Homo-oligomer: A and B are copies of this chain.
Amino acid sequence: MTPTETAKGLAERYEAFQAMKLKLDMTRGKPANEQLDLAQGLFEAVTSHDFKAKDGTDTRNYGGLEGLPEARALFAEIFGVKPSEVLIGGASSLTLMFDTLLRAHVFGVPGGTGPWSAAPVKWLCPAPGYDRHFAITQHLGYELITVPMTGAGPDMDVVERLVAEDASIKGIWIVPKYSNPTGESVSADSVRRLAAMKTAAPDFRIIWDDAYSVHHLGDAHDEVPNLLDACQSAGTPNRVLIFGSTSKISHAGAGLAAMAANEANIAWTKVHASKQTIGPDKVNQLRHVRYFKDLAGIHAHMAKHAAILKPKFDAVLRVLEEELGAGIASWTRPNGGYFVSLDTPPGHAKNVVRLAAEAGVKLTEAGATFPYGKDPSDRNIRLAPSCPSLLEIETATRVVATCVKLSIAQH
């Protein structure tokens, strides 16, 4: 805090916030209504008079396990792969990831020696990371191993050492671009090392959750080389499974999800998916393809999202700078994605989240960004500024910053 900010002054500021009876929520990376409004044309993109795919497929009827050809082509552009390397799913990439890991668990994967469930499994969790990722592997009973983030993706020295020595480590979660919550992107060098590294497990898998691939905030765009290409060059083509969706492009709860992988992983996925479904909703695929057309259409659309999101992120960063700029805490300044990651001095995150809640500002639970919900340093706080209004974000961030300073002053 600045010299003028006494513990008493901070407590008074905090009480003043409490008196405002705020009810603000910065917990989840949920699009704001204005963002959802951008894709309203989706509702009318397929009508009762015009519901056939380009090849004449009646999208209303059964069939199409792989997805419509034009939907596969759209995601092929997004992922930078061939359409034959893409499978379209339902509305949720989380479901595709969950189902993929459950298939590996029960049936095993190409290049492996059998079901993963046959022996204890460990899983690498770069952290701070995405709580729903960690939850899936925890749910399967896997031992979660924290890997530090470096600002350019997971610490590859740690990753290489661990996967080389322990065959029970079957995979790693990675959000390659604008990672949740740190906003960092995997460097070109790390992509190369991920593809080339020796793994003790012959069936090691990288779950490459490309959730924010086109989700830039401004003119500075992070670029991450294509990991499937890198794996194919390195002779490890089975290693990577790519996931993504339009959840934060079109409508969060009614978008399209897709996965991409090499031929062997796609064939494997189809074997199991064909027992689970006759095929995903093709009408919604057609809506998306008609509305967005191609990757250029997606980029143009995402620029409109950025125009809404950028001022919100700027407000968070400005208030944090004003309140905590004197070296009291550190935070990320991402070029894209949905989060600002705030690090307090060690031992304060839980207390700050509690104080903020008691002043009417709901934050993601402290620890949520780490395996088992436990931040060993108790310092990381995820701020999700997409959904509230600009004014709410300024106020909420001001409350959070005040709580950081108050917590430090009190302890």
Contact = CB atoms under 8 A, between A and B. Distances in A.
A94 B276 contact: yes
Given A106-B140, A276-B99, A253 B91 contact: no
A182 interface: no
A91 B276 contact: no
A98 interface: yes
B275 A253 contact: no
A254 B275 contact: no
A315 interface: no
A221 interface: no
A58 B252 CA distance: 10
Contacts of A132: 275
Give the oligomeric copy count: 2
Contacts of A188: none
Contact of A117 (B44, B62, B117, B247): B117
A282 B92 CA distance: 12
Interface in A105-122: 105-106, 117
Which bracket fits the contact residues of A? 35 or more
Contact of A40 (B48, B59, B117): B48
Contacts of A277: 92, 94-95, 98
A284 interface: yes
Interface string A80-93: 00000000001110
A46 interface: yes
A202 interface: no
A47 B44 contact: yes
A105 B272 CA distance: 15
A171 interface: no
A135 to B, nearest CB: 6
A346 interface: no
Nearest to A41: B48
Interface in A322-340: none
Contacts of A284: 254, 281, 284
Contact of A59 (B99, B247, B254): B254
B36 A251 contact: no
Contacts of A282: 253-254
Contact of A283 (B30, B44, B59, B253): B253
A106 B102 contact: yes
A135 B98 CA distance: 21
